[in-house]
Each structure stands twice: as structure tokens, then as C-alpha cells.
Amino acid sequence: MARYAMVLDTRICIGCHSCTVACKINNDLPVDMIYNPVTTIGPTGVYPNLHMTHIPLLCMHCDNPPCVDACPTGASQQREDGIVWVEDEKCVGCKACVMACPYGARHPNLEVGIVQKCNFCMDLVDAGEEPHCVKTCHQRARIFGDLDDPNSEISLLLNSERSVRLLPELGTEPYVFYIMD
């Protein structure tokens, strides 16, 4: 079985928001639904000794996803390969998952009355391709792959570089990892 994950290499991310647009366009999202914002921290420090980092965000595909636990309809699900997704037909738009998610990764789509989220582009992944945001990134700052495969690019990278996860204290066990400089 696979266990999918993503690494965001903030050492090379330039905050260009290309991933944001690629996701939106290819997933046909309304303008105001953003699965993967990219935030900027800084420049911090005082001119001219400065530092700046960009943090690309998306659903963390938590191993212990509070959003799934919170969902009263069973629309929110976690696949065996770790991908957390919403089955549109079952969703009633109660937003319990929105409130449960610590990462702002769930978005009510008012046009259809349901909540939607990043699903690691599971259709593409199932077809053996990379998620849109990964493919579009000129910097290759987003690395997607299978952590159960010890020889995958992502496994090798996580083994060789120090990485952190966001809000680890909440116990959600994110499968999105950040390499910071």
C-alpha cells in the first residue's frame, strides 16, 4: 500500500502563487476558493539584514484527521493511502469538518452547498500522474510521492533533510512536511 505525502521545500519556494492558480484552474474552483495559499513571512529583521520565507499551504492529509472524525455523514473519508477526501454526494455542507480542521484546508462551496478540499488530485495520482500544483511549480519546491516506498524521491528527501510539520502539537499527524532553511 502506498502512503502519499508532500514535501514543501521552502528553501527554494519563491512565493509565485503558480501552484495556487494551477489548482484553482484545473480543479475548476470559484475564484474565492483557495486550496493552497502561499504565505510570506517577512522580510524579517532590519534593513539590510533580512530574511524572507514563503510557506505553501494545503490540506495536510493528516494521518489522524479531525475533519473525518467530525463528519456526520461519512462524506469525509480517508483512503488507505492516506488521502483525505470528500465524497460530494454525501456531503450536506454542515461545515463540521471546516471547524474541525486546524489548517484552514476546507472550503464551503456556496454554489453547490458542499464543502470541498484538496484531495491530492487523487484522480491524477490514481492515473500515475503528479498533482497539478506539483507539476506546475517551476521551482520543484513541491515534492509529492509515496512514503511507503523507501526509494521514492520524497522518502529519500525526508531521510536526508530535516523537516517540520505544522501545528504538530495538535496530534493530527500531518503528511505534509516542510523543509526550512
Partner 1 sequence: MKHKETTWGWMLAVDFFFAGMGGAMIALAGISYLFFGDALTATIGNFIGPIFVAMGAGFLVLELGRPLQAWRVFMNPKAILTFGAWNMTLAIGFGFVFASFRIASLPWAGWVWAQQITAVSSIITGLIVATYPGVLLGRHNARPFWTGPGIVSLFLLSSLLTGLAAHDLANSLFANTTNFSKLLAGLLVLQVVLWGLYIYMKCTGTTNREATIAQQWVNGDFAVGFWAILLGLGSLVPLIIYLLPSNPIMTLAGILVLLGGAWMRWMVVKSGEYRTWLPGEEFYLSRLPRGDEEFLKALK
Partner 2 sequence: MINGVNLNQDGVEIKKSVCYFCHNNCGLLAYVKDGQVLKVEGDDSYPVNQGALCSRGNINHLFLNHPNRLNHPLKRVGARGAGEWEQISWEQALDEIAAKLSELKDEFGAETLATAGGTLRTDDWARRRFMNLFGSPNGFHNAHLCWIPTFMVETAIYGWCPFEIDMGNSRCIVLWGQNPGASSMPEMRHLSDAKKNGLKIIVIDPRFTETAAKADLWLPLRPGSDSALALAWLNVIIWEGLYDQQFIENCCVGFDELAQHVREYTPEWAAPLTWLDPELIRAGARMYATHKPGNIQWGTAVDQIGKPGGATMHARALLRALTGNLDAPGSDLLTGPAQDFITDEEMEANEWLPDEQKAKQLGSDKYKLTTWEGYGRIAEITRSVWGKAPTAEWMCEAHPPTVFNAIITGQPYPVKALITLATNPINSYGQTSQVIEALRKVDFHVSMEYWMTPTAALADYVLPAASTLERPTITSTYGCSDFLLASQRVVQPLHERRTDYAFWRELALRMGQEEMWPWENLEEANYYRIYPLQYDVNSYDEFVERYRFHFPEREYYKYGRLGFATPSGRVELVSNTLAELGYPAMPTYVPPAENEVDDPELAQEYPLVLTSRGGIMPYHHSEHFQIKEIRFLSHEPHAQINPETASKLGIQEGDWMWIETKRGRIRQKAEVTQAVHPKVIATERGWWYPERKAIEPDLAGCMESNGNVLTSTAEEHCDPMGGSWANRGLLCKVYKTNGKDGM
Whole-number Cα distances in Å, 62 to 22, 36, 41, 135, 136 = 23, 15, 24, 22, 24
In the bound complex, what is the minimum distance in angstroms from residue 127's beta carbon to partner 1?
28
Candidate list 27, 73, 78, 163; residue touching partner 2; CB under 8 A: 27
Candidate list 2, 94, 156, 170; residue touching ligand SF4; CB under 6 A: 94
Candidate list 1, 47, 80, 128; residue touching partner 2; CB under 8 A: 47
Determine, following the binding rule CB under 6 A, whether residue 139 of this chain makes contact with ligand SF4.
Answer: yes
Of 42-50, 115-123, 146-154, 155-163, which part binds ligand SF4 (CB under 6 A)? 115-123
63-79 residues labelled b (16+ CB within 10 A) or e (exposed): eebbbbebbeeebbebb
| Closer CB to partner 2, 3 or 135, in the complex | 135
d(CA 148, CA 155): 8
| Closer CB to partner 2, 44 or 64, in the complex | 44
Is residue 50 within 8 Å of 170, Cβ to Cβ? no
In the bound complex, what is the minimum distance in angstroms from residue 156's beta carbon to ligand SF4?
19
Is residue 59 within 8 Å of 68, Cβ to Cβ? no
